[in-house]
Structure 1
Amino acid sequence: MLKKLPFLLVACLALFIATPSSGLFFKTWKHPRYDALQSGDIVFQDTGGLQGEAVRAATGSDFTHCGVVFQAGETLSVLEAVQPVSVISLREWKKRSSVFHARRPKNPTKIDEAAFTKALAWGEKQLGKPYDLHFKWSDNSLYCSELVWKIYKKSTGIALCQPKSFESYFLEDETVREVIRQRYGDLDKLPRKEPVVAPSDLAASPLLIEVPRR
C-alpha cells in the first residue's frame, strides 16, 4: 500500500487542482469524438457480460461502468472499482468497449487544494479494496459508480446525484433477476431500500456536462 501512495499523490493532485478555473493544465488525451480529455473527467462505457446486461436492463442505459480520469506521470489513467479497486491507462480502458462517453463538472470552483488533500486521504485507502458484488453503500468494498460518487462527495462535499434504491430500477427483466439470485440467493433477499448509484445516474447529473465534442 505504501508503494501506491506516490502514484495516488500525482493522481489526486491532477484530479483536483488541474481544472479550467485554476489555470493549471496537465496532459490531455485526444479522442476521435472529443476535443480533449483531462484530469477529473468521468468516463463511461459498456463492459458487457451478464452484469453489464443486467445493469443495462435495469437502468435502460448503455453505460454499465465508469471511472475517474487522472494524470499519472506522463499518461492519463482511470481510477476504477473493479476487482480490486485499481488504475488502468485511459487508452487501455477505452479498448474494452465500443461505448465511450465523457463528462466533467459544470462548475469546478469547489475543486481546490483542500479538496485535493481530502481526496488523497480517502482515495489512497481505497486502492486494493474488493469489488462490491452486493452493491452495499459502505466503504468496505466498492462498485464503480459508488467510487466515483464518493470521491467527489468526500473531497468536495458535492453529491453528483441523489442516491436511489434498488426498487427505483427495473427489476423484472430475467437477466436482472438472474444476477440477483446469484448475488443474494433469492429475489426476496435483495435489500430494496439500499442506497445505490448507477453509472447512468452520474451521467444524468445536472452538475456535469459532456466533454466538448469535435
Structure 2
Amino acid sequence: MSSVVAHGDFIFSVLGRDENAISAVEAGYRGARFDHVGIAVEQDGALLVLEAIDPEVKAGPYANYVERSKNTEGLPRFAYARLLPEYRHLLPAAVRYGMSQLGVSYDKLFLPSERQLYCSELIVDMFAHANGGPFFRETPMSFRRDDTGNILDDWSRRYAHYGVPVPEGAPGSHPGGLSLDHRLHVYRVEPAVPGYQR
C-alpha cells in the first residue's frame, strides 16, 4: 500500500496526451490539466482505485492506476485530494454505492444517464447518493478550448461519428472542476502534471 494515499482519497490524473480533448476545456487545481479521476478504496488489505473508464466501471490495483498516468518520460501525472474532515462521514455510503456500479458501461458521449457513467460522473453520483441529495455541483459542460472558445475538432468528430450534436451546456462534471471543490484538500501534486503552477 502507498504510504501517501488513503481510503477515500481522490486521485486526479492525466491518461492521454498532456493536452487532449478533455484536459483542454477546463483547468483544475492551480491550473492543472486533468483528464481523469478515480477514488482510492481499501479492500481486504489492498488499495484499489474505483473508476469509470472505458469499457466500464471497475476497481483495479492502485499501482496500475499510477503506471497509466505516466508520461512518455516515465513521470507520473496525478494529484491526491482528501475530503475535509467534516465531510468524511459520507465516505462509507459513497464507496458502497460506487462499488455497486461495477460493470456499468462507460459513457463515451458524456451525457446525463443512469445507464452509463464517465469518471467524474461516477464520483458525483456516489456522493449525491451518500448525501441524500446533490453534493458536488454539476455545471454546464463545455467542449470548447478555454483559451479560444472554439469547440475542439476531436469533440466535433466524435459526436459526428455517433450522429448526435455536441452537448455544449448540458449538465455534467469535469475532473478539473471537481479538483477545485472547496471541500477537497489537494495535498500532493506530481510536478509533471501539465499546467500545474506551484
Please state which band the TM-score falls in when normalised by the shorter chain: 0.7 to 0.9
- In the TM superposition, 1:57-206 aligns within 5 A as 57-60=24-27, 61-82=32-53, 83-97=55-69, 98-109=76-87, 111=89, 116-117=92-93, 119-120=95-96, 122-157=97-132, 159-167=134-142, 170=145, 176-185=152-161, 189-206=165-182
**Structure 2: which 5+ residue stretches go unaligned?**
70-75, 190-198
Corresponding position of 2:22: 55
- Structure with more relative contact order (C-alpha pairs < 8 Å, separation 6 or more): 2
1:38 aligns with 2:11: no
Q: What root-mean-square deviation, in Å, do the aligned CA atoms of Structure 1 and Structure 2 show? A: 3.0
1:179 alignment partner, SS class: helix
CA distance 1:150–1:184, change in 2 (3 Å):
farther
Deviation at 1:41, TM superposition (A): 0.4
Tell me the matched-pair count. 177
Query: What is the TM-score of this pair, normalised by structure 2?
Result: 0.76
Amino acid at match of 2:2: W
Mean Cα displacement is larger for which, 182-191 or 132-141? 182-191
Amino acid at match of 2:51: E
**Structure 1: which 5+ residue stretches go unaligned?**
1-27, 31-35
Give the number of the structure whose residues are more often helix, by fraction. Answer: 1
Query: What is the TM-score of this pair, normalised by structure 1?
Result: 0.71
Give the number of the structure whose residues are more often strand, by fraction. Answer: 2
